[in-house]
A and B are shown apart, each in its own frame.
Chain A
Amino acid sequence: MSDAAALEYYQRISERFPQPPQDVRIAAEEAARNGLEGINDDVMAKVAFYPWQRRFWITVVVVLTVGFILDPVITGSILSAFLVVLYSLTVYGRMRITFTGILSDPPKQDLLHLVADDDLPMYTILMPAYDEPEVIRNLVRAVDEIDYPHDRLELLLLLEEDDHRTLDALLEVELPASVRVLLVPPSEPRTKPKACNYGLHFARGKYVTIYDAEDIPQRYQLRYAVAMFENSPDNVVCLQARLDYFNDRQNLLTRFFSIEYATWFGCILPGLQALNMPIPLGGTSNHMRTDRLIELGGWDPYNVTEDADLGLRLAQNGYRTLVLDSVTMEEANSDTVNWIRQRSRWYKGYLQTWLVHMRRPRQSFQHVGFRGVLGMTTVIGLTPALAAVNLFAGLITVFFLVGLPSFLSGVFPPWVVYMGTAMFFFGNALVIFSSILAMIKMRKEHLVWACLLFPLYWFLMAVAATKAVYQLIVKPSYWEKTQHGLTEAGE
């Protein structure tokens, strides 16, 4: 489409859906891309590795390479010993967090009635979408179903200016009064966080939240969030609702995905909260105080897991995130190839997020404490790293068990073999055991048998993680070009 045609199209749309003046739009777009830079340029993931991090990892690779050339046995022993210890500690840490979460009692929902209708503040919902014409149907339904006074509800539908399919569909329906369509000027990076930043610029609500187009939040979620905010200390600036899948019985993959989500939102996040560790946010249904979010510079448009990044940034700034005991139903990814693509993006984002927050380790220790860094590293940094190692470790264990011990015992010192074997049996079993406990706690007993097959899911994770690590090393900026944040968010 030529520039003139694009302009003409824009004018036609903006007649129907009035847009802010052009200079305001350009300023907002600029802020959405670089707003964070002005506040704190260290926290953006424009580059994956900080100079010292790049030097550090290059040194590690060089030392290992030289080591393997000079004496593969000793280098292999040291490396495997290091990995086994790291792996054990991570499993311990994750189990500690999970079990703390399983034991934590969910907060009571009776807060619901604490805020009277008249006292409810303005609430903004950001709903980014890209190339999803079906969003319109959901949008109308969503506004209908949310139990919140409509005069105090603002739903900002964030669409790319050149997303003609969606816009064409939009022209054909009558939108509820509380919906406002915002057209994001086209520019790189075309990511969901950038669209959200743009929307945040125009948000009038005291609180703001994000829903994906196909999300089905619990009816009272906004009221409950307000009640919880009003009854929490000032430093609580974010509430993360629980995400769940409505198609968990569709196939084995969606079952696995549901088990993972139920454990993550039902046990790990409450565990992190109870242990006072930073909570990485989930993709949607995170409710925030608008003023504080703006103060912090919004989301990092260059980070592909901007939600996790924001959670850690809140913690770094002394703010707290709590878990909101309310569910938002989503659709689980049911296709394996698609799942691997999505997961490798998440894992790459996790690695990127961890690298960003470890750029100034001393500062991180000061801000979130030793425990916070530990939690951050266990949950964010080591999850993809060790998922990648898993593939390798699993293979070695299988070799060992089918009778190549004489070959391997030359490479690994015996205590590494014993510890690794113990990890293989007891570490893995403990993870499966904890997910069965989590399923019973979350009342998802129909998924329990799938827990027993979870190693298959680890295999998929390992593939995705290997892909993520490979891309991070070989093409650290690759995702910026391929990432279709808005479509993938809706996968």
Chain B
Amino acid sequence: MTTLTTPRRDASLWDVADSILGALEMVRRALFFIWPTYIFAAYVSCALFFANRHVLMGDALSRVASAWTIAQGFQPHLAAIGFVWGPIPVVPEIPLLWFGHIWRPLVTEVIAGSIVTAAFGAMGVYMLYHFLLERGVSRMTSTVLTLGFAFNPLILIYSTNGMSEIPYIALLIASLRYFSRWEIRGRTMDLGIAAILVGLASWDRYESIVATIAMAGVVSIIRWRATIDRPLPARRQTIFAHLLIVFMPTILFFGTFILFSWSLTGTPLAQFSSVYGNSSLVKIAGSPIIASVQVETVSNRLMHLAPFLVVEIFFLLVAIYFRRWSVRMGAIAIVGLPLLFDLYGLTSGLQFDFLRYLILAIPLVVVVGAELAVNGHAGSFVACVSVVVTMGTAFWTIGIPDMALQEYPYHQLMVGQEGATLSDVQLEAPTAVAQWLDAQNLPDDSILTDATYGGRVIVGSRYPRRFATSPDRNYFTIIDNPYQHGIRYVITVPTNTGAIYPINEYYPTMFDGCVPNTQLVFQATGLGRPSYWRVYKIDGPISPSSAVKSTHCTAPLPPNVF
């Protein structure tokens, strides 16, 4: 009798190897088609390069410190998200930081933040490419414009450093893509997705509200024109309905942000009103940040960063006027108006004088380029040249320290110089503080610090939960009576660092050792700002009123600090 079944073979090691290889092959094939993965990989590689040379930005570090605190507890402690900033760059970092003990650079070199921005960057690049294709730009031109955007030095830097710029731009571009689909196909669902994406961006940067307003304006005009044959009440109703679609997500996201901020930290709009808020920071004397930049300065900077933007706009206006090109202004308005708002913010002192507030100029070059490129070869040529030239001008601009205070160290690394010493953020001293504190075996919430500088210590610590940091709900009650709230150590920095540090506001003489019941137990110095760190042990109750200059001062300010 013959048997129809194949003879059974015992599973050997080879079978296991075979199936692993098979799985890898499948992954490889999948990756081949998911090209944004390569963009992601490129960004992460650059991030590792920068991290390896210790160049990083303070805000990104504070965000990682917040996420690190949340990730290390069984009970999520959401106040630590830090409502000074929106939750977007912080929340996706939390799961990555569950591995922060296994691979320390995730925390100490802000690589968790880098991975998040790299992912957003890759998403933005993917969305941009499809926006261009769907808009009708040829495949070739789309590829050039997309790569020109993806590897523009400024975009590259911010895709690797954990800041909020790239999530903002990526969400804006994604929103743009769906908005443009709505313009082309007329499906309200696409408009809904666009509105949700731009609303989500308000969890990253509040300026995205300007993009929502721009979108609402464009939608009103489009619907008004499209319903020309309908009676007036019907036209009003359709515009009202579409405006609801546009505004609802932004109102919801921004509203919940305010509500949660309020319920978790006690301040509805920490971004504006807290001691870390922009208005407070801009007011600080001795700050390297100069409020209220001149219009000439800002336009000069913009002309350095993206001079061909003007060329493109000129070309577009001429073509519209003389050649009757049909141009969709929607996409341009959605990126352009927020940029105009940033320019206004810079000149009116709402925002700091940082180059990164002009970063929207780069996607705007591509978006204006798209409108040129859909109208023929000449347009495509101008668009491609503009985008490629912008790569060069952006690189040139970040090489000028006066213009690009924060980006200059990255430029130095890119040209083969050592950039780390130029960076504001230096971690040797705070890491030494963290290591010393880790060794003290303290209970949770026993070390007083705050989000401005505390983050630098917290990322260096293996026990982030031991730090009481703003913006906890009861932070300011703790700072009033630290000893009664279980605080045993206070981290202090000199008072003239150029940023607000609440401990210095409450105990201006603490650093100098003039507060009774405190005792200097550790100090560290290093490069960067602040360069001098002290840890005081609290032996008994202290309060702001006890912090007077007196003969109790045990440690006068050494002459080498500032």
**Given that A445-B238, A445-B241 are known contacts, is A437 also in contact with B78, CB under 8 Å in the complex?**
no
* Interface-side segment among B184-192, B292-300, B313-321, B459-467: B184-192
Q: Which of B238-272 contact A (CB under 8 A)?
A: 238, 240-242, 244-245, 248-249, 252, 256, 263
Asked whether any CB of chain A lies closer than 8 Å to the CB of B310, the reply is no
- Residues in chain A near residue B241, CB distance under 8 A: 436, 439-440, 445, 448
Which residue of B has the minimal Cβ distance to A449?
B240
A436 contact from B233, B245, B252, B263, Cβ within 8 A = B245
In angstroms, Cα B78 to Cα A437, docked, is 33
**CB pair A437 B188 closer than 8 Å:** yes
Q: Given the interface contacts A414-B75, A445-B241, does A102 sit within 8 Å of B189 by beta carbon?
A: yes
Docked-complex contact A433 and B256, CB < 8 angstroms: no
Task: Report Cα–Cα, A425/B249, bound state, in Å.
Answer: 11
The answer to the question of A171 belonging to the interface, with a C-beta cut-off of 8 Å to chain B, is no
Does B417 count as interface, using CB distance less than 8 angstroms? no
Binding site secondary structure of chain B:
helix
In the complex, which range does the number of interface residues on chain B fall in?
20 to 34
Query: Given the known A-B contacts A102-B189, A103-B187, are A440 and B242 also in contact in the complex, defined by CB atoms under 8 Å?
Result: yes
B278 shortest CB reach to chain A, Å: 27
B559 at the binding interface (Cβ < 8 Å)? no
Distance in angstroms from B250 CB to nearest chain A CB is: 12
Q: Is the CB of B252 within 8 A of A418?
A: no
Q: How far is A426 from B244 in the complex, measured between Cα atoms in Å?
A: 16
Task: Answer yes or no: B400 CB below 8 A from chain A CBs.
Answer: no
Does chain A have a CB within 8 A of B234?
yes
In the complex the two chains form, what is the Cα distance from A21 to B192 in whole Å? 62
Cα distance A110–B188 in the bound complex, in angstroms = 24
Q: Is the CB of B192 within 8 A of A433?
A: yes
Q: Do A445 and B252 have beta carbons less than 8 Å apart?
A: no
Instruction: State whether B245 touches A418 (Cβ < 8 A).
Output: no
Given contacts A102-B189, A418-B76, A425-B256, contact A433 B240 (CB under 8 A): no
Q: Does A152 contact B (CB under 8 A)?
A: no
Contacting residues of chain A (416-434) with chain B, CB-CB under 8 angstroms: 418, 425-426, 429, 432-433
A394-446 residues with Cβ-Cβ distance < 8 A to B are 401, 405, 414-415, 418, 425-426, 429, 432-433, 436-437, 439-441, 445-446
Count of A interface residues, CB-CB < 8 Å: 24
Chain A residues lying within 8 Å of B245, measured Cβ to Cβ, are: 433, 436-437, 440
Closest to A432 in B: B248
B237 at the interface (CB under 8 A from A): yes
Chain A residues lying within 8 Å of B75, measured Cβ to Cβ, are 414
Query: In the complex, A445 Cα to B226 Cα: how many Å?
Result: 15
**In the complex, chain B residues whose CB is within 8 Å of the CB of A449:** 240
> Residue A261 at the B interface, CB < 8 A?
no
Instruction: State the Cβ distance, B248 to closest chain A Cβ, in Å.
Output: 6
Residues 431-478 of A contacting B (Cβ, < 8 Å): 432-433, 436-437, 439-441, 445-446, 448-449, 451-452
Interchain nearest-CB distance for A133 vs B (Å): 38
User: Contacts A102-B189, A437-B245 hold; do A445 and B78 have CB atoms under 8 A apart?
Assistant: no
Q: Within 8 Å CB of B240, what residues of A?
A: 445, 448-449
Given A425-B256, A432-B248, 14 additional A-B pairs, CB 8 A: A415-B76, A418-B78, A425-B252, A426-B256, A429-B249, A436-B248, A437-B192, A437-B245, A439-B241, A445-B240, A445-B241, A448-B237, A448-B240, A448-B241
Could you pull out 13 A-B pairs where Cβ atoms are within 8 angstroms? A102-B189, A405-B263, A414-B75, A433-B248, A437-B192, A439-B241, A440-B188, A440-B242, A440-B245, A445-B240, A446-B237, A448-B240, A449-B240
Chain A interface (Cβ < 8 Å from any Cβ of B): 99, 102-103, 401, 405, 414-415, 418, 425-426, 429, 432-433, 436-437, 439-441, 445-446, 448-449, 451-452
Give the 3 A-B CB pairs with smallest separation, nearest first: A445-B237, A448-B241, A445-B241
Contact residues of B with A, CB < 8 Å? 75-76, 78, 187-189, 192, 233-234, 237-238, 240-242, 244-245, 248-249, 252, 256, 263
